[in-house]
A and B are shown apart, each in its own frame.
Chain A
Amino acid sequence: MTETSPGPLKHTPLHALHRELGARLVPFAGYEMPVQYPTGILAEHAQTRTAAGLFDVSHMGQVRLTAKPGHNAAKALETLVPGDISGLLPGQQRYTQLTNETGGILDDLMVTSTGDHLLLVLNAACKDADLAHVQKHLAATCEIEPMFSRGLMAVQGPQAAQALARLAPSVATMKFMTGAFVMIDGAQCYVTRSGYTGGDGYEISTPAEATEAVARKLLAQPEVKPIGLGARDSLRLEAGLCLYGHDIDTTTTPIEAGLLWSIGKERRVQGGFPGAAVIQKQIAEGASRKRVGLLPEGKAIAREGAEIAIGGKIVGKVTSGGFSPTLGRAIAMGYVERAHSATGTKVDLLVRGKPAPAEIAPMPFVKHAYYRG
């Protein structure tokens, strides 16, 4: 979990609150972030799956793009990502990736259209490089406004809607992957119905100075408890969602990662994004390797870096692995050669040098529960 970068650790607007709540704070992507609160990761995970959890994700990079006169921000952004951004109606949100010239992934991100602007949410560890990349390529066509000091919180779980709707009734009817400006506790926030747990929930972008008050309002709801990065990781792994720098990076393409669904149908044909030639060839012919789910038979946990073998021959590598609190068993994901990627294929995961039998399994491991109206 720990990712370090040089220099003193930065704080989010909720740092003092984390301390007050007894969080264990660790360095993560240059920030001091809560990995867990006193109840522990298993309890926090269960809380999020059965009620609602509040996550501080203010370390992520929020950037606003606005078209310069005579230009179109969505068209401009499409030169950097394979997603269908032009097709976003005001209030719609989409998941996409910043790609490089070889079709690798520089970062994965959420893009929401407000009608007047595009709002991007970038990974914390990538946000400075992403911003420089966007500035380099889009400065002529877009106003690029980093909003790195804003707060960003996720409230996730089956009771997230009832809890947040008590503070802002309009969120109740929002659908998955839509966004809206919403007043919460007197502050103008931008709320999207999205998240990183596979469950229902919202992400709430707040003015920095209003973040702690909104967080306290949310934590005052009986359904909501604070959740750290530890459970955030186990929740997203159960949901089969990629973690940048682990399951996807500059050496993996969206096709290898199983993210074809996030590439617009027209864009698959027309290209016009970095690495389009590589990605289009993989769409047509298939990639040589694929991201797959892995279910170990036993209890040993195969973690990132564990090799995947068939009959003693290495055919891939685990990129994320851990314990699924919901299923009460070990789960993992990784890349295998395409010839061995079919569901049900028996493999061995090499855990501390010993083969642990496992089977290639469909993802998500825990069914998604998005609210689609």
Chain B
Amino acid sequence: MSIKYTNEHEWVRVEGDVGTIGITSYAQEQLGDVVFVEVPAVGRKVAKGDSVAVVESVKAASDIYAPVSGEVVEANAALADSPGDVNAEPTGKGWFFKIKFSNKAELDGLMDEAAYDAFVKSLG
């Protein structure tokens, strides 16, 4: 198992051929209180970079992009009733959806934790 990060502040926890995707603690802090999450339908085929979910804070709506290509195999339905999980546990209960990879090599283009931490630091 490894965790990869995107410069859109998403994380992908890789377990075999499936990645669980959510947003980072930095992202949830920037968004503020999350009040609504729209997750993708299971079975949807997505390409890396597609807008697949929406997270709404009190202030604004933000798109969540597929960090890798594949098929959505599970979505976190519990977020409909407890969107605050994204703030409370962004890398735990606040996960968004799971993708079965169609091109695992895409993961090589993502950051590891050290690179992501350095990226966040660079943002000031």
The verdict on B58 contacting chain A, using a C-beta distance below 8 Å, is yes
B58 in complex: contacting residue of A41, A299, A300, A352, CB < 8 Å: A41
Cα–Cα distance between A59 and B115 once the two chains are bound (Å) = 40
Cα–Cα distance between A303 and B36 once the two chains are bound (Å) = 13
B54 in complex: contacting residue of A36, A45, A322, A352, CB < 8 Å: A352
CB-CB < 8 A to A40: which residues of B?
32-33, 87
**Which of B35, B61, B87 has most A Cβ within 10 Å?**
B35
The verdict on A42 contacting chain B, using a C-beta distance below 8 Å, is yes
CB-CB < 8 A to B35: which residues of A?
42, 301, 323
* A306-325 interface (Cβ within 8 A of B): 322-323, 325
CB-CB < 8 A to B56: which residues of A?
301, 323
Inter-chain contact A323/B38, CB cutoff 8 Å: no
The verdict on B80 contacting chain A, using a C-beta distance below 8 Å, is yes
Inter-chain contact A36/B32, CB cutoff 8 Å: yes
The verdict on B121 contacting chain A, using a C-beta distance below 8 Å, is no
Inter-chain contact B58/A322, CB cutoff 8 Å: yes
Inter-chain contact B80/A299, CB cutoff 8 Å: yes
The interface size of chain A toward B, counting residues with CB under 8 Å, comes to: 21
Q: Kindly provide the distance from the CB of B3 to the nearest chain A CB, expressed in whole angstroms.
A: 26
Cα–Cα distance between A82 and B61 once the two chains are bound (Å) = 37
The interface size of chain B toward A, counting residues with CB under 8 Å, comes to: 14
The verdict on A234 contacting chain B, using a C-beta distance below 8 Å, is yes
Cα–Cα distance between A35 and B59 once the two chains are bound (Å) = 9
Cα–Cα distance between A78 and B87 once the two chains are bound (Å) = 50
A230 with B61, Cβ < 8 A, contacts A42-B33, A300-B38 known: no
CB-CB < 8 A to A231: which residues of B?
58
Cα–Cα distance between A9 and B5 once the two chains are bound (Å) = 34
CB-CB < 8 A to A42: which residues of B?
33, 35, 58
Q: Kindly provide the distance from the CB of A368 to the nearest chain B CB, expressed in whole angstroms.
A: 21
Inter-chain contact B36/A323, CB cutoff 8 Å: yes
CB-CB < 8 A to A299: which residues of B?
36, 80
The verdict on A1 contacting chain B, using a C-beta distance below 8 Å, is yes
Q: Kindly provide the distance from the CB of B67 to the nearest chain A CB, expressed in whole angstroms.
A: 20
The verdict on A330 contacting chain B, using a C-beta distance below 8 Å, is yes
* A14-57 interface (Cβ within 8 A of B): 35-36, 40-43, 45
Cα–Cα distance between A323 and B55 once the two chains are bound (Å) = 13
Task: Write 25 A-B pairs (CB below 8 A) sorted by A numbering.
Answer: A1-B59, A40-B32, A40-B33, A40-B87, A41-B32, A41-B59, A42-B33, A42-B35, A42-B58, A230-B32, A230-B59, A231-B58, A233-B59, A234-B58, A299-B36, A300-B36, A300-B38, A301-B36, A303-B60, A303-B61, A322-B58, A323-B35, A323-B56, A352-B54, A352-B61
Which B residues are within 8 Å of any A CB, using their own CB? 32-33, 35-36, 38, 54, 56-61, 80, 87
What 5 A-B pairs come out closest when comparing CB atoms? Answer: A323-B35, A41-B58, A42-B33, A40-B33, A301-B56
